[in-house]
Chain A
Amino acid sequence: MYRSNWDIRRCIARANPSGFPRTMDEAVLSPASPPVLYQSLDPRVVKLWRIHSLIASAVLLAVAGIAMLFMGFGQVLPWNSLVAGWIGLLLLRLFFLFWQAWVYRAWGYRLDGKVLETRHGVWFRTMQLLPLARLQHVDLHSGPIERSLGLASLMLHTAGTHEATIVIPGLDANEAVRLRDHLVMVGGDDGV
């Protein structure tokens, strides 16, 4: 249930030995290297993102509604175009609720020896590779809604200047702690 057709087309195998939800890289493109398995985020993160999106939508739609009323009674624009605009906005926000599932599917991380690899992005894809020996410090962050869902995010800071911080959102709170300790342990011995 974590995959769409969109993703399945790219998969050559559905290996899922640990029972954890996993996604596949498009490494299928290169026949030389074996396909790479990524760990997915906790599925509850979609709920979190949807709640965030709903709150933002509510505020936005309320503000837009008030503006619509003012403009309607002030006869700045005709009522039908105002209502059409407001409904357009509503549909856009509703679309974002579905969008979160796509964002979730695009997200993956994996630990490859001493390198942490993350990938995300639906339209604009980004893959970040962090040599754990470069880890400066790790933040474990958990907002109120996140906490109530039992989630946490990790922020991995390096000494870099342009893409210095890597964020892994939506991890199970216990898993986040475990992952943090593991990353720090692997990174702590500073390579060689």
Chain B
Amino acid sequence: MGSEPPPLPPVLPAQVAPGLTQGLLLEGRLHPLTLIFSAWHTFRGVLIPLIVILFFGRKRAEDAYLPLAFLFLVLPLGFATIRYFTFTYKIQNGELITHHGVLGRTQRIIPLSRVQDIRIDQSVLHRLFRMADVHVETAGGKEPEASLSVLSLAEAERLRSAVFDLKGLSATAAPAPPAREIIRQLTLRELLLAGVTSNQVASAVAVLLVVWRLLDQFMRPELYQRWIERSTEAAATWLTQLGSGAWVVFLFFFIAAIAIGMVFSVVGSVVMFYGFTLARSGEDLHRSYGLFTRRSSSLPRRRIQVLKIEETILRRLFKLATLRAGTAATTGSHHHQEKGGRDMLLPIVPKAQVEGLLPAFLPDLDEGGEWRKVARLAVRRGTIKGSAALTILAVILYWMRPDWPSLWPFFLVPAVYWVNVMSYRYLGYLHGPRYFRTRHGWMRRSTHIVPIRNAQVVVLHQTPLDRRWKVASVLVDTAGKANTSGPPQIHNVVYDEAVELARALARQAAETRFKL
């Protein structure tokens, strides 16, 4: 792969006249290269065990190779062949229909108006051959509703434009192909910043674990066990000799770990999001990114159930934020580590620009409006809670070593108060005619924006203490289950106000149409 891999082409205009939305629109089957790709996948999966067996296995085990080869190569290849020859798909009468299976034939019908998201993923190998995996997502379920692996890139794009143009037709009856407007492209500098400000220590630990497991697979324990024993012994004697100097060494290692983590997260961020482009054509938000594995996904913007603006501690130092869109599509919990950046609508953006970008995602966003505060009581309650925790800590410390210095946690009470005052300043909610927003946090801030047309249930909670203080919490539940870590909620609202707010939100929701 010497030359630069070709970039993803833009969304093609509709290839059919609007009148042809009925009847058969598109029909096809998987690309013949499916077989090669399946073979490669299988081979890659068994590569390490194979090497282990070949090099470290007992001699004179040739008899075992044949069943192993059958198990690991022939069987999966057989399945791939069957899949290739039996899998067909078509778009007919506004539905995507897939057929597969030999003995148990499955026909799956997905109404196009229910498609939440189409993802086109290309690994390096896919890009070499101009192939792609296509995943069609609907609301609910644990897995994509239909996974087509592999199609030629041109065919994948054709499928996507067919799905989305049809949807556009059914929704708005505006046949003109919408213009593509680039909302945001991320520069290399921004990606570097994103890497530096993401959680480095965690990623460093993760990488070290992976390396460790790889080493564990390749090496026999006898090889390194003695080495580890010897080095721990050496370190122990060295530390006892150094005495308090050991702290310097620990500090050094700590800084080194952070530096390594930072390098990994910078590289990770660049590899993942290289060339990130967020564009909009008509109702569809289209993201494409990736240095090696190229990913692209289409998300109709009215499918956004909740929008979350997230500012982590490090990112606030650089005045940066992350945008997440909660949708009803699959959570991808089975691939938890491999979200592939799909959980972010915009991985990084200067905080000052967020407000200007919002109308691109939420076109009918309310103008202005006034942020309302919750009861001032929130500060007192937060301080009492924090002080209680500190008291428990102090008691434990005093119990372990009964002298005055053990009571140091009490000196933190003013700090707790200060933190609560600071977070109270930001805490609030904004109730507009079409949108409801909440925001909270001190160091780490987050803002939720919910279109009220997407509110499913409005809940008001009151703990016994809440009742004592005449306050309540308000929670707005939506169908957005992925990416925003919970629904927007706000605590310590004055009870009367909370009841009024909840009733008003529910009434507004009842007056609007919800379409999943």
Contacts and interface: CB of A to CB of B under 8 A. Distances in A.
Contacts of B499: 27, 30, 127
Interface in A26-56: 26-27, 29-30, 33
Nearest to A191: B513
Contacts of B480: 161
Given A29-B495, A29-B496, A162-B477, A129 B457 contact: yes
A114 B510 contact: yes
Contacts of A160: 456-457, 477-479, 487
A66 interface: no
A163 B467 contact: no
Given A159-B516, A162-B477, A192 B511 contact: yes
Given A30-B496, A161-B481, A125 B459 contact: no
Given A27-B499, A125-B461, A191 B477 contact: no
Given A124-B462, A125-B467, A134-B456, A112 B503 contact: yes
Interface in A104-140: 112-115, 117, 121, 123-134
A190 interface: yes
Interface range, A side: 20 to 34
B418 interface: no
A167 B40 CA distance: 52
B470 A131 contact: no
Contacts of A15: none
Interface string B478-510: 111100001100000001100110110111011
Interface in B111-139: 139
A33 B486 CA distance: 32
B502 A158 contact: no
B459 A128 contact: yes
B458 A132 contact: no
B507 A115 contact: yes
Contacts of A27: 499
A30 B455 CA distance: 26
Contacts of B505: 129
A12 interface: no
B475 interface: yes
Contacts, number: 118
A117 B504 CA distance: 12
A159 B139 CA distance: 10
A130 B506 contact: yes
A158 B495 contact: no
B136 to A, nearest CB: 19
B237 interface: no
A192 B463 CA distance: 36
A164 interface: yes
B512 interface: yes
B460 interface: yes
B514 interface: yes
A61 interface: no
A124 B461 contact: yes
Contact of A113 (B458, B463, B507, B512): B507
B382 to A, nearest CB: 20
A177 interface: no
Interface in A124-175: 124-134, 158-164, 166
Given A29-B496, A160-B478, A124 B509 contact: no
Contacts of B368: none
A166 B512 contact: no
A126 B478 contact: no
Nearest to A132: B510
Contacts of B390: none
A30 B480 CA distance: 34
Given A29-B470, A115-B506, A162-B486, A126 B477 contact: no
> Which among A29, A121, A130, A164 has the greatest number of chain B C-beta atoms within 10 A?
A130
A123 B466 CA distance: 10
B459 A133 contact: no
Contacts of A128: 457-460
Given A124-B464, A131-B455, A164-B456, A113 B479 contact: no
A35 B479 CA distance: 32
A166 B511 contact: no
A113 B510 CA distance: 9
Contact of B506 (A125, A131, A159): A131
Interface in B349-363: none
A42 to B, nearest CB: 24
B328 interface: yes
Interface string B219-254: 000000000000000000000000000000000000
A43 B467 CA distance: 26
Nearest to A161: B481
Contacts of A123: 463-464
A132 B457 CA distance: 9
B230 to A, nearest CB: 51
Contacts of A162: 475, 477, 486-487
A133 B486 CA distance: 23
A129 B502 contact: yes
A114 B459 CA distance: 16
Nearest to B479: A159
A133 B456 contact: no
B510 A191 contact: yes
B457 A130 contact: yes
Nearest to B497: A30
Contacts of A191: 510-514
A123 B464 CA distance: 6
B487 A161 contact: yes
B91 to A, nearest CB: 26
A161 B235 CA distance: 52
Contacts of B455: 131, 134
B478 A133 contact: no
List of 8 A-B pairs having minimum Cβ-Cβ separation, nearest first? A160-B456, A131-B510, A129-B506, A114-B510, A160-B477, A131-B509, A30-B496, A127-B460
Interface of A: 26-27, 29-30, 33, 112-115, 117, 121, 123-134, 158-164, 166, 190-192
15 contacts: A27-B499, A29-B496, A112-B503, A117-B506, A124-B461, A128-B459, A129-B458, A129-B460, A129-B503, A130-B457, A130-B506, A131-B456, A159-B328, A160-B456, A191-B513
Interface of B: 139, 328, 455-464, 467, 470, 475, 477-481, 486-487, 495-496, 499-500, 502-503, 505-507, 509-514, 516
